Structure 1
Amino acid sequence: MDRSSRPRSRRITPALALAAAAALALAGCSSSSGGKKAEEGGGGGSAGKAGTPRIKIALVTHQSPGDTFWDIVRKGAEAAAAKDNVELIYSADPNAGNQAGLVQNAIDQKVDGIAVTLAKPDALKDVVARAKAAGIPVVGLNSGVGDWQQLGLLEFFGQDETVAGEALGKRLNEVGAKKAVCVMHEQGNVGLTQRCDGVKKTFSGTLENLFVNGTDMPSVKSTITAKLKRDGDIDHVVALGAPIALTATQSVSEAGSDAEVATFDLNKELTKAISAGTIEFAVDQQPYLQGYLAIDSLWLYENNGNYMGGGEQPVLTGPAFVDKSNVAGVDAFATKGTR
């Protein structure tokens, strides 16, 4: 994965990077229709399929069981794999040590590329180095915007979680919030910590972190409910994922609280909750795009030596706000499972 033998690209903006990727991807596709779906169960489909030799790419995430966010990431990856004639191998484990083991499994299978999330980058550092030593290109997505370069990854696709948190903090100020809790559903996840820290940086009111076990929704509900009952001054619950936000709306109702719920990330149930007014707004990082670009970028690198951002800049997929004013334009895609 050593880039030293390749000419350095000039710095480009994320928008230009996306445009270049799209153009190159389309150029590499055959004109035939009805592309075959990836062996792992493609989603989205494509107008054609690349005529390039079939390659094998592993996507390894820190998905927890039942977290629908990752279904969207995977759909994007599967759509790119179907278009690019890629055999996609998907695996996930929220335990960082186990996730590192899954990356090692991909190395042992001699895959042609690896896309990996870096929620706990220190635990992935050694195995990423082993992938590089084996000559396997590695890209990052979703988590690790502050660590991907240090670990020597080729590219990164996601949002800057600190910037996203700061944007949400400013939005809380705009809606007149005074006291909020930021619900942390996975301890040790650097991206979630950055979100709450970003909110705290720009929010002019009082913010407190509330830790919950994100793998146990009844526990999440009872913890948030108890907090709201103890502190009637809380006017906003900030969730860091759609399932947590939807559970938080139940807590608000059960506690008899007037608190509003805002969140990071979407799913089809959450866009409907925004339409109904039970969720105030959400920050969208476009997970489908993250999965799609991660796989497509490895195909581009394999077949044309391309890497986006010049090896220096992340390709940002967010943040963007979704609220009642624009949710209608998002809901149709969320219903398909791609937003």
Structure 2
Amino acid sequence: MDRSSHPRSRRIAPVVAVVAAAALTLAGCSSSSGGKKSEEGGANASAGKATTPRMTVAFVTHASSGDTFWDIVRKGAEAAAAKDNIKLDYTSDPNAGNQATLVQNAIDKKVDGIAVTLAKPDALKSVLAKAEGSKIPVVGLNSGVSDWKKLGLLEFFGQDETVAGEALGNRLNQVGSKTAVCVIHEQGNIGLTQRCDGVKKTFSGKLETVFVNGADQPSVKSTITAKLKQDSAIDHVITLGAQTALTAVQAVSESGSKAKVATFDLNKDLTGAISKGSIEFAVDQQPYLQGYLAVDALWLYKNNGNYSGGGQQPVLTGPAFVDKSNVASVAKFAANGTR
């Protein structure tokens, strides 16, 4: 993709996700022209759906099977694709080498754009260079906020994981935590590591990192249970995904610990757990918005040459805290599988 025209010398303020979402949505909504072409030759949208030529977008993530977080991301991507007259080719593989192969497959198919997660950016460096050489625009989402620019991507949609971790660390200080464990459910995932590192940076208490296999929830529960039995001083278990958080609640119960559970990311079941008090709070990065904006951005770039953040700043979709005070307003969307 050609990023030579992007402004590089001027520092641009971070883009606010809400504003970006509104702008992108308006770009594809209905108008009084009834879908006719304008005098300038551009195609307008009709009845909330684009009448621009059909395009194909490959959406390639590092999602593991059964992780409901990625169902939410995919829903957002599918909503944007339906609005923008896009054929969405969604694929995923948690193995970085396999994910790179999926990107290569998309290049071979000569798709019109690629949206990709960068959980393990080094493994994707070579294939993303091939996409750039093939002049296929690529945007990043979810993972890779520290790497998307140097890998030549056009835009990025997600949260700064270090900043999110720092915010959670400060929240632990506010609630008086003294000893916590941060549970990483996928080794080598740079975004997850950044979360725990961010917590450690601001948390004034003792923090230990524990690695588990997120694809095997029974082993996750046994590992956390054993850790809580080993150290009764632990007052908070920090997990990095909704599924692991719900498993951690079970581990706390079985171990007899008085530790509280806090987490990153949401789903329907997790909002219910916050309402009941079994989970103290969650950091929400709005995965639906990430999927939606990534696909919509490729449509805007293809049809109008638009790009968010001036090619220099990410569009931040988080972090935001969800706890008992505001969970009701979030839960109604989580029930629809969009939050």
TM bucket by the smaller chain? Answer: over 0.9
Report the Cα distance in structure 2 between the residues aligned to 1:312 and 1:323, rounded to whole angstroms. Answer: 33
Report the Cα distance in structure 2 between the residues aligned to 1:199 and 1:122, rounded to whole angstroms. Answer: 24
1:328 maps onto 2:310 in alignment? no
Report the Cα distance in structure 2 between the residues aligned to 1:230 and 1:21, rounded to whole angstroms. Answer: 46
Q: Secondary structure at the match of 2:188?
A: coil
Query: 1:243-262 residue pairs with structure 2 within 5 A?
Result: 243-262=243-262
Aligned to 1:170: 170
Aligned to 2:115: 115
> Given that residues 184 and 211 in structure 2 are in contact (C-alpha distance below 8 angstroms), is that contact kept between their aligned partners in structure 1?
yes
> Given that residues 6 and 311 in structure 2 are in contact (C-alpha distance below 8 angstroms), is that contact kept between their aligned partners in structure 1?
no
Look up the equivalent residue of 1:212 and give its one-letter code. V
Report the CA distance between 1:5 and its aligned residue.
Answer: 4.3
Aligned to 1:128: 128
Report the Cα distance in structure 1 between the residues aligned to 2:205 and 2:47, rounded to whole angstroms. Answer: 50
Do the aligned partners of residues 210 and 310 (structure 1) sit closer, same or farther apart at CA in structure 2, a change above 3 Å counting? same
Render the CA deviation track for 1:145-186: whole Å, top value 9, x for unaligned.
000001010000000000000000000000010000000100
Please give the root-mean-square deviation of Cα atoms over the aligned residues, in Å. 1.7
Do the aligned partners of residues 265 and 20 (structure 1) sit closer, same or farther apart at CA in structure 2, a change above 3 Å counting? closer
Count of aligned pairs: 325
Report the CA distance between 1:73 and its aligned residue.
Answer: 0.4
Query: 1:78-117 residue pairs with structure 2 within 5 A?
Result: 78-117=78-117
Report the Cα distance in structure 2 between the residues aligned to 1:7 and 1:146, rounded to whole angstroms. Answer: 19
Unaligned runs of 5+ in 2: 33-45
Report the CA distance between 1:4 and its aligned residue.
Answer: 1.7
> Given that residues 164 and 283 in structure 2 are in contact (C-alpha distance below 8 angstroms), is that contact kept between their aligned partners in structure 1?
yes
> Given that residues 214 and 244 in structure 1 are in contact (C-alpha distance below 8 angstroms), is that contact kept between their aligned partners in structure 2?
yes
Look up the equivalent residue of 2:135 and give its one-letter code. G
> Given that residues 76 and 288 in structure 2 are in contact (C-alpha distance below 8 angstroms), is that contact kept between their aligned partners in structure 1?
yes
Do the aligned partners of residues 324 and 5 (structure 1) sit closer, same or farther apart at CA in structure 2, a change above 3 Å counting? closer
Report the CA distance between 1:24 and its aligned residue.
Answer: 5.0
Do the aligned partners of residues 275 and 304 (structure 1) sit closer, same or farther apart at CA in structure 2, a change above 3 Å counting? same
Aligned to 2:12: 11
Render the CA deviation track for 1:47-98: whole Å, top value 9, x for unaligned.
6210111100010000011110000000000000011010000000000000
> Given that residues 28 and 51 in structure 1 are in contact (C-alpha distance below 8 angstroms), is that contact kept between their aligned partners in structure 2?
no
Report the Cα distance in structure 1 between the residues aligned to 2:208 and 2:145, rounded to whole angstroms. Answer: 24
Report the CA distance between 1:18 and its aligned residue.
Answer: 5.1
Over the matched positions of the two proteins, sequence identity in percent amounts to 78
Look up the equivalent residue of 1:262 and give its one-letter code. A
Aligned to 2:147: 147
Report the Cα distance in structure 1 between the residues aligned to 2:244 and 2:219, rounded to whole angstroms. Answer: 11
Aligned to 2:205: 205
Report the CA distance between 1:23 and its aligned residue.
Answer: 3.1
Report the Cα distance in structure 2 between the residues aligned to 1:24 and 1:191, rounded to whole angstroms. Answer: 26
Aligned to 2:56: 56
Q: Secondary structure at the match of 2:210?
A: strand
Q: Secondary structure at the match of 2:335?
A: helix
Aligned to 2:39: none
Report the CA distance between 1:189 and its aligned residue.
Answer: 0.4
Render the CA deviation track for 1:221-263: whole Å, top value 9, x for unaligned.
0000011011111000000000000000000000000000000
Report the Cα distance in structure 2 between the residues aligned to 1:228 and 1:136, rounded to whole angstroms. Answer: 49
> Given that residues 21 and 297 in structure 1 are in contact (C-alpha distance below 8 angstroms), is that contact kept between their aligned partners in structure 2?
no
Do the aligned partners of residues 20 and 321 (structure 1) sit closer, same or farther apart at CA in structure 2, a change above 3 Å counting? closer
Report the Cα distance in structure 2 between the residues aligned to 1:27 and 1:71, rounded to whole angstroms. Answer: 25
- Report the TM-score, using the length of structure 1 for normalisation: 0.93
Aligned to 1:42: none
Aligned to 1:223: 223
Report the Cα distance in structure 1 between the residues aligned to 2:334 and 2:278, rounded to whole angstroms. Answer: 17
Report the Cα distance in structure 2 between the residues aligned to 1:5 and 1:235, rounded to whole angstroms. Answer: 51
Report the Cα distance in structure 2 between the residues aligned to 1:206 and 1:10, rounded to whole angstroms. Answer: 37
Report the Cα distance in structure 2 between the residues aligned to 1:90 and 1:187, rounded to whole angstroms. Answer: 24
Do the aligned partners of residues 175 and 78 (structure 1) sit closer, same or farther apart at CA in structure 2, a change above 3 Å counting? same
Of stretches 20-29 and 164-173 in structure 1, the one that deviates more from structure 2 is 20-29
Q: Secondary structure at the match of 1:156?
A: strand
Moved over 2 A (4+): 5-13, 17-32
- Report the TM-score, using the length of structure 2 for normalisation: 0.93
Report the Cα distance in structure 1 between the residues aligned to 2:318 and 2:203, rounded to whole angstroms. Answer: 20
Report the Cα distance in structure 2 between the residues aligned to 1:50 and 1:12, rounded to whole angstroms. Answer: 30
Render the CA deviation track for 1:189-234: whole Å, top value 9, x for unaligned.
0000000000001000000001101000000000000110111110
Unaligned runs of 5+ in 1: 33-45
> Given that residues 263 and 281 in structure 1 are in contact (C-alpha distance below 8 angstroms), is that contact kept between their aligned partners in structure 2?
yes
Look up the equivalent residue of 2:220 and give its one-letter code. V
Report the Cα distance in structure 2 between the residues aligned to 1:249 and 1:307, rounded to whole angstroms. Answer: 42
Render the CA deviation track for 1:91-120: whole Å, top value 9, x for unaligned.
000000000000001111110000000000
Report the CA distance between 1:30 and its aligned residue.
Answer: 3.8
Report the Cα distance in structure 1 between the residues aligned to 2:259 and 2:296, rounded to whole angstroms. Answer: 42
